[in-house]
Structure 1
Amino acid sequence: MKLASLDSIQNAHDDSIWTASWVCPGDGAPSLLLTGGLDETVRLWDPEKLTSLRTNTGHCLGVVSVASHPTRRIAASASMDSYIRVFDVDSNRTIATLEAPPSEVWQLSFNPQGTTLAAAGGGSLSVKLWETTHWQLTSALSIPRPEGLKPTEKSNTKKFVLSVAWSPDGRLIACGSMDGTISVFDVIRAKFLHFLEGHCMPVRSLVFSPSLHDARVLFSASDDGHVHMYDAEGKALIMPLSGHSSWVLSVDVSPDGGAIATGSSDKSVRLWDLKMRAATQILTNHTDQVWAVAFGPPGKNDPRSCMLASVSDDKSIAFYQYS
């Protein structure tokens, strides 16, 4: 497995690009890429033609997360303006605007079935869930206070929730916090299960293995410079991966489940072979820290092949071919 560098889009945004998510192909339409950045915009890209298709200017502060729905039709963006905007991908029409208090919306993720949108709750110390039919808030999964911590102790800052991920069967939600802990919830029972420990600094990115056979496998990226592979249900650290020289800001897993890609403030993108338990490539297409990496959908002719995109503070989008 390897990554081959394709083209890059320079000055894709007017300021730092913080987030990226692929829009799946459908009805003959190709895969597209959504990006969001400090310039308060969400932009939709054609990765083959390297052209911008649409720009959304609905937010009034930096966009911290974008997420696309499994059906392709809709997507959502979260901003530091405390709003989540749900919109039609093709027309850019606003479908719903979800409001949350300041610092209570961070990373977004739709469940695999497309019935629920989860948002890392930031300062609310929770994961908030909205159903996607009428866009009503259905629940908030609260992170419990660790044992031994007194109610008077100030833990809110440390527990600030940064990242969220769904298991491929939609049963589990994991969320990463500022203090390095990862909380795992049973969604159906709305029950906290346990913490996953091992990181000592903020966990900014989480992703489950896409395979139903490995539905318990969770990958995490942390400011401590490490990537961890967990059995999320069994509460076990399977293996740590080290190599970045600074914060690991993003992690994503390939559609075939055989590799992960990471982006770091050391300005590099790394490809990790999970069987070898090592980084097999280091790519330095960016000149500033890499905030997000995202694998695209598998190719029609070769399901083991797909594109990878990375975005950075240098305002560029880089594309790679994974095979």
Structure 2
Amino acid sequence: MFTSDVFVSTVCALEPLDLSTRPYDCVAAHPAGALAASASLDSFIRVFDVESNSTIATLEAPPSEVWNMQFDPKGTLLAVAGGGSASVKLWDTSSWQLVSTLAVPRPEPTKPSDRSASGKFVLSVAWSPDGKRLACGSMDGTIAVFDVPRSKFLHHLEGHYMPVRSMVYSPVDPRILFTACDDTHVHLYDAEGKSLVGAMSGHVSWVLSIDASPDGAAVATGSSDRTVRLWDVGMRASMQTMTNHTDQVWGVAFRPPGGTGIRAGRLASVSDDKSISLYDYS
């Protein structure tokens, strides 16, 4: 468990990262590391071999743009958040065929005026570590949880009131879901018990990205306030703030467990300032 002794040091900042000719909205890495998928707001997804950069498959996900996608833990399915289509599409990675479309319902309105509100806009997806649950974050702040084997909607998680941009399940507890929201807060949910079990605050603007450390003891967040924060999950507190970036931080990622000759405590962040920063933490 991380304590107040947590320390993060910047390893390096890689820049410039020229994104001017790459109109990509999101990228997802296959768990095996050999494949990746990239998407833009034109509803097309390109699956490619990481080493050769050759295209393996081109997927089309009309009628809406692609905002976020993730491979399941076994790498057998690719979940794609469909923006204004109010749905998440699931693609079989052995055949690259569309196998399911999960419609994200609206929660029951709490007052009559809510009945005229616009439909769901799905921004983010997250797989549970056992691959049985899929969480889908929406523009209105609600989160839909699905039983994937049964293609069944289970329930909503509530507590946010602005767009949920990024989510991640705890790698050690398939019940715990961490969420990042435009309301500046990070929430911890019991995704099975439908309850909000904790909240963390510290960012002064939108929280755009979140990831959990391999041991589940910490989460990292990136924000439009240009900072990266490392949070102690047990203490529900921000332990360190990194200010390397000069523009909003759209992605943070911990190094997966395993491998040799590389420090286990490695964190990366990517920003609109066209740089990638790498950090060691201990």
- The code of the aligned residue for 1:287 comes to T
1:246 equivalent in alignment to 2:205: yes
1:126-141 correspondence to structure 2 within 5 Å: 126-141=87-102
What is the distance in 2 between the residues matched to 1:115 and 1:257?
24
Point out the more displaced range, 128-137 or 99-108.
Answer: 99-108
Q: Residue 3 of structure 1: which of 8, 30, 37 is its match?
A: 8
Paired residues of 1:80 and 1:102 also in contact (CA < 8 A): no
- After the TM superposition, which residues 12-23 of structure 1 pair with which residues of structure 2 at under 5 Å, given as runs? 12-15=17-20
Q: Report the equivalent of 2:50.
A: 89
- The correspondence for 2:190, drawn from 218, 231, 254, is 231
Task: Check 1:303–1:193 CA distance in 2 against 1; reply closer, same or farther (3 A cut).
Answer: farther
| Corresponding residue number in structure 2 for 1:55 | none
Indicate which of 95, 101, 108 corresponds to 1:147: 108
1:120 matches 2:75: no
Q: CA deviation at 1:304?
A: 8.6
Alignment equivalent of 1:190, drawn from 131, 140, 151: 151
TM-score, with length taken from structure 1: 0.81
Residues 33-72 of structure 1 mapped to structure 2, 5 A cutoff:
39-40=21-22, 62-72=23-33
Opposite residue 232 of structure 2, the aligned amino acid is D
Q: Calculate the TM-score normalised by the size of structure 2.
A: 0.93
Q: Aligned residue for 2:3?
A: none
Alpha-carbon displacement from aligned partner over 1:221-260 (angstroms, at most 9, x marks no partner):
0000000000111101110000100000001000111100
Residues 238, 105 of structure 1: alpha-carbon distance in 2 compared, 3 angstrom cutoff: same
Matched, 1:291 2:250: yes
Map of 1:320 onto structure 2: 279
> Where do 1:299-318 residues align within 5 Å?
300=259, 305-318=264-277
Cα offset, 1:2, TM superposition: 2.7
Aligned counterpart for 2:130 among listed residues 169, 175, 179: 169
Q: Which amino acid aligns with 2:106?
A: R
Q: CA RMSD in A?
A: 1.9
Task: Find the counterpart in structure 1 of residue 230 from structure 2.
Answer: 271
Instruction: Tell me, yes or no, if structure 1 residue 221 matches structure 2 residue 226.
Output: no
CA distance 1:154–1:275, shift in 2 (3 Å)? closer
SS at match of 2:116: coil
| Aligned sequence identity (%) | 64
Residue segments in structure 1 that go unaligned for 5+ positions in a row: 16-38, 41-61
Match of 1:19 in 2: none
Alpha-carbon spacing, 1:151–1:318, altered in 2? closer, same or farther (3 Å): closer
Going from structure 1 to structure 2, the CA distance change for 1:175 and 1:302 (only over 3 Å counts) comes to farther
The number of aligned residues is 275
CA distance in 1, matches of 2:209, 2:63: 24
Query: Which moves more between the two structures, 296-305 or 102-111?
Result: 296-305
Alignment of 1:21-36 (within 5 A): none
Instruction: State the 1:302 CA deviation.
Output: 9.3
